[in-house]
Structure 1
Amino acid sequence: MKTTLTSLVAALVLAGCASVGTVDPAQLPQAPAAYKAQSANGAAALTASWWQPFADPVLDDLVARAMAANTSVQAAANRLAQARAALGGAEASRLPQVGLAAGAGRSSTPGQPVPQPATQYNAGLSLAYELDLGGRLLHERNAAALDVLSREQLLADARLLVQANVARGYLALRALDAEREIVRGTVAAYGETLSLTEKRARAGDVADLDLARVRAELAANEAEALALDRRRLELETALAVLLGEPASNFRLAPTAWATALPAVPAGLPSELLQRRPDLAAARSQLQAAQARVGVAQAAWWPSLSLTAQGGGVSNELSNLLRSGAGTWGVGLLAALPIFDGGRREAGVNTAKAQLDGSAIAFREQFLLALKDVEDQLGALTLLQQQGEANARAVSAASQALKLSDTRYRNGLVSQLELLDARRSELANKRAALQVRSAQYQATVGLIRALGGGWSSDAGVKLAGV
């Protein structure tokens, strides 16, 4: 029997000494040497307030309001406060626990001919301290600290996401305002054409079919202008939600779109990708899962607690603190589970599986982040070329419309040619505007993908596993 117990204790100690689960760095994704799509433009590095180089005071104000009242940011801050409170509890469990107790009781002494009730008073100070033999408390504290770090990084990511969404929503709204002006200008032009056609119809110079065509084009563009108004309303209410304000009270007056477009510098270092706060949070969660493997493995160690108490007991309250009434005691409490049906082993396996899951989640997050950067860099390169082609198309379409209008007024071409030229100019102007809007959206997307810009001293850097 003695040999069996000795072997069992040795196995438990060896299990407790087992190394904490680790992640092979080779299994984690690494930053690429260079991105496939790189801008050839030179530009100054963005500051921590990455939206300021857009040089738009309205955008600055909207971002400030969102940071003060956005509910997603407030929720992330609340989760951080909860994680910090949990860390405080984990740190407290590693410290001695001191308590003070006092009480009074009344009882009778049995065995007496006439039992005499008596009152007994007691007061004492107690101390308890758990010896962290297997490092369980330390691992719990480290995991809680990493949870706090992860929540801090997720709060930074929530702020960055809200800032990017505010910028995207605002820039989309300004682009829509510009598009509405183009469409309304076209509606006014069709109105002039309709007036001219009606005059010529009354004079018998054009057929009723030509008049019907112009009216149809005018009505179609009026409907398109109303559709853009509806879309603007949706963008405006979405901005209100981001700002944490009631949609009914939020208004953003249309103005000229004069927002600057920051140029992307050439040769962005791939290391910038790793300072993304969501990636930093994913790695902190991976490290926390690693620490919790240590917590599960420490369950194989015996639990050992030291206790001490001192105080006094007396039948008289006035004698409670006298030396003759003093009592004291010390104790050592050890506990070692012998058979638990495999619960501790299952706990270790669960923690290791969760560690593997965290590693997979980190790898997936990294690959998605790399995709975001490549998508936005590639989009900016192609959008620049597309914008140049659109500019040539707008110039040619405007020249064609000018010539067609002059020839139509002089009766040299049919109305169909004029209407076709106007449709072509409108389509090319709107396409050019949409490409310009996409350039702004891709720039904000790239800033978001890089964790807040392309300055090497901004953002959150990842700690090693």
Structure 2
Amino acid sequence: MRIFLSLLLATSAIAQVGPDYERPETVTPPNYKSAIRWRETRPLDSLPKGDWWRVFGDSRLNDLMGRATAHNQTLKAAVARFDQARAGTGIARAAFFPSADINSVITTQRTSPNMPSAFPLGGLHYVGPSYNVPLDFTWELDLWGKIRRQVESARADASAAASLMQNVLLGMHADVATNYFRIRALDGELQTVRAAVGWRRQALDIARARVKAGAGSELEQAQAETEVATAEAEVSALQNQRDQLENGIALLTGTNPSAFRLGGNSSLLPTPPGIPVGVPTDLLERRPDVAAAERALASATAQIGVVKGNFFPSIKLIGHGGYLSGDSANLFEVSSLNWNVGPSISVPLMAGGKNRAAAERSRAAHDEALANYRQAVLASFSDVENALAALRNLSTQAEAQHRARDSAQKAAEIAHARYEAGTSPYLDVIEANRSLLATQRACATLAGQRLIASVSLIKALGGGWDQSLPVTVPVATADPAARGSTAEKKGFFTKVKGWFKKG
């Protein structure tokens, strides 16, 4: 018997069905279109992201990021999912060890005089209590590595959940920054349009005065009134956009929109931060969505081994022992002791094709995970290329737009001077002012778009460039109603003491 058990344990340490996971090779271009060097993709999401938003040097943005990290409900849900996956790893790992439990049973029974017996019962039967205190013991031997594959899959799932949590964190931070810079751009437009309302009202007063003096026409006055009303309508439209973005930031920071206010800031937007010339390609490999897809592929690969283990015999060591008596007084005497122990061998013979179908499903799930991983890699390249192209093109567009604004400013001054001199109609002033307002608003919009493109590039690269800080679970404010909050995490004996104190 000892030799048999030793052989089983030795086999358990060696055999392991199913394929070992190997990261698939990924075909990648030698460099980006913007001449950034590249090499083979390997998920390195464990490298830290850092507080990348501080590169913009905006204290209000920094405050919003802190509030979002502490109170965002979607992030809290992602952290809870990670905790679930991490606990699932512990559940899978527990299968390595024996399980034992005590199932005490107290019954009143009547035995049958006709039950099978090694000797004639002669109508004898028993009516009375039965006290049974057994200890059940079970230990499944991992002969084929089925349990090891299950643990391998669970660990990969936990790692994927951690990556998805980081992806939610990165996406949430990027959304906060994007909405914030959109509001800042709108503040610049609102300042320009409100100024336009002011000087258009002044032009309206001048037109009215000219009509009263007989030097102007009612057409000029009507045109001036139209320009004032149009500018006022644009202010309301821009304010509506700003209010919606403000409510969006409130949602991201876990705040009731009714209680959230983000004051205006009409100062000029900062210049987009410079991207380091030698950005390491490892940054793209840190993208959490790519890492999550790669870990999902590893989990699917391990699941093939789990399913294959169902084709082989299963051996469990089982034991049952305890005390059985009809009288509680002698329940724990040696004479009441009963036990049995031995191996339980289960050999699969017929399952109606269930195991084969499960194997086909696991292989198909692996192929799906492989396709998702390759797609995630391709999408990461696309995101970076789009962000780099946007930064380059928006920079060129902003330079041209600034030249157009300066020209429009000069044209507006010339048209106004000619109108006052009586050599040009008021329509020329209107057209020149409209062009000036449009170019000024376009400059403010482009300034916001360039910053948003910078945020998109940082997000596409996996977040920031700081690789000196450790990766940690984001510290969020605990919900008092959450069962997993620190207020609820008490030990068993602490809870028992509490019960006695309450009593």
Residues 277 and 459, structure 1, Cα contact 8 Å, conserved in 2:
no
Residues 49 and 467, structure 2, Cα contact 8 Å, conserved in 1:
no
Matched residues in 1 for 2:460 and 2:200: separation?
44
Matched residues in 1 for 2:422 and 2:103: separation?
108
Aligned to 2:196: 186
User: Which amino acid in the other structure matches residue 81 of structure 1?
Assistant: D
**What is the Cα deviation at residue 344 of structure 1?**
1.1
Matched residues in 1 for 2:249 and 2:178: separation?
10
Matched residues in 2 for 1:252 and 1:116: separation?
82
Aligned to 1:37: 34
CA distance 1:195–1:107, change in 2 (3 Å): closer
Residue in structure 2 matching 1:198, options 181, 190, 208? 208
**What is the Cα deviation at residue 185 of structure 1?**
0.8
Aligned to 1:357: 368
Name the SS for the 2:322 alignment partner: strand
User: Which amino acid in the other structure matches residue 267 of structure 2?
Assistant: W
Aligned to 1:5: none
**What is the Cα deviation at residue 317 of structure 1?**
2.5
CA distance 1:354–1:115, change in 2 (3 Å): closer
CA distance 1:301–1:177, change in 2 (3 Å): same
Name the SS for the 2:102 alignment partner: strand
**What is the Cα deviation at residue 295 of structure 1?**
0.8
Q: CA RMSD in A?
A: 2.3
Residues 183 and 221, structure 1, Cα contact 8 Å, conserved in 2:
yes
Aligned to 2:40: none
Name the SS for the 1:25 alignment partner: coil
Residue in structure 1 matching 2:403, options 392, 395, 407? 392
**What is the Cα deviation at residue 318 of structure 1?**
3.2
CA distance 1:161–1:130, change in 2 (3 Å): same
Residues 121 and 314, structure 1, Cα contact 8 Å, conserved in 2:
yes
Residue in structure 1 matching 2:135, options 113, 116, 125? 125
Q: Note the alpha carbon deviations across 1:93-113, whole angstroms, 9 max, x for none.
A: 221011123333445674578
Aligned to 1:366: 377
Aligned to 2:54: 52
Matched residues in 1 for 2:204 and 2:129: separation?
108
**What is the Cα deviation at residue 116 of structure 1?**
6.6
User: Which amino acid in the other structure matches residue 232 of structure 2?
Assistant: E
Residues 20 and 293, structure 1, Cα contact 8 Å, conserved in 2:
yes
Matched residues in 1 for 2:312 and 2:319: separation?
23
Name the SS for the 2:134 alignment partner: strand
Name the SS for the 2:311 alignment partner: coil
Matched residues in 2 for 1:117 and 1:136: separation?
47
Aligned to 2:339: 328
Aligned to 2:94: 92
Matched residues in 1 for 2:223 and 2:128: separation?
111
Matched residues in 2 for 1:125 and 1:395: separation?
89
CA distance 1:325–1:249, change in 2 (3 Å): same
Matched residues in 2 for 1:394 and 1:370: separation?
35
Name the SS for the 1:306 alignment partner: strand
User: Which amino acid in the other structure matches residue 315 of structure 2?
Assistant: L
Residues 54 and 259, structure 1, Cα contact 8 Å, conserved in 2:
no
Aligned to 2:266: 256
Residues 287 and 460, structure 2, Cα contact 8 Å, conserved in 1:
yes
Aligned to 1:25: 24
Residue 275 in structure 1 maps to residue 286 in structure 2: yes
Name the SS for the 2:262 alignment partner: coil
Aligned to 1:345: 356
Matched residues in 2 for 1:115 and 1:272: separation?
79
User: Which amino acid in the other structure matches residue 86 of structure 1?
Assistant: G
Residue in structure 1 matching 2:103, options 101, 104, 109? 101
User: Which amino acid in the other structure matches residue 65 of structure 1?
Assistant: R
Residue in structure 2 matching 1:417, options 420, 428, 431? 428
What are structure 2's unaligned runs of at least 5 residues? 1-14, 37-47, 114-120, 472-503
Identity of aligned residues (%): 34
**What is the Cα deviation at residue 255 of structure 1?**
2.0
Q: Note the alpha carbon deviations across 1:50-104, whole angstroms, 9 max, x for none.
A: 1112111111111111111112112212222222232222122221011123333
CA distance 1:337–1:112, change in 2 (3 Å): closer
- Structure 1 segment 307-322 matched on structure 2, within 5 A: 307-322=318-333
**What is the Cα deviation at residue 440 of structure 1?**
0.5
**What is the Cα deviation at residue 24 of structure 1?**
7.1
Matched residues in 2 for 1:435 and 1:379: separation?
11
**What is the Cα deviation at residue 328 of structure 1?**
2.0
**What is the Cα deviation at residue 408 of structure 1?**
1.8
Residues 18 and 302, structure 2, Cα contact 8 Å, conserved in 1:
no
Name the SS for the 1:51 alignment partner: helix
Matched residues in 2 for 1:107 and 1:236: separation?
72
User: Which amino acid in the other structure matches residue 435 of structure 1?
Assistant: L
**What is the Cα deviation at residue 457 of structure 1?**
5.2
Matched residues in 1 for 2:420 and 2:35: separation?
50
Q: Note the alpha carbon deviations across 1:167-201, whole angstroms, 9 max, x for none.
A: 11011001101100101111111111111111112
> Which has the higher mean CA deviation after the structures are superposed, 88-97 or 178-187?
88-97
Name the SS for the 1:453 alignment partner: coil
What are structure 1's unaligned runs of at least 5 residues? 1-15, 40-45, 461-465
User: Which amino acid in the other structure matches residue 179 of structure 1?
Assistant: E
Aligned to 1:148: 158
**What is the Cα deviation at residue 22 of structure 1?**
5.4
Aligned to 2:84: 82
Tell me the TM-score normalised to structure 1 length.
Answer: 0.88
Matched residues in 2 for 1:445 and 1:312: separation?
69
Residues 22 and 290, structure 1, Cα contact 8 Å, conserved in 2:
yes
**What is the Cα deviation at residue 364 of structure 1?**
0.9
**What is the Cα deviation at residue 359 of structure 1?**
0.7
CA distance 1:51–1:24, change in 2 (3 Å): closer
Matched residues in 2 for 1:155 and 1:190: separation?
52
User: Which amino acid in the other structure matches residue 48 of structure 1?
Assistant: G
Matched residues in 2 for 1:58 and 1:366: separation?
34
CA distance 1:107–1:270, change in 2 (3 Å): closer
Residues 275 and 459, structure 1, Cα contact 8 Å, conserved in 2:
no
> Which has the higher mean CA deviation after the structures are superposed, 111-120 or 185-194?
111-120
Matched residues in 1 for 2:128 and 2:430: separation?
111
User: Which amino acid in the other structure matches residue 318 of structure 2?
Assistant: T
Q: How many residues align?
A: 437
**What is the Cα deviation at residue 48 of structure 1?**
0.2
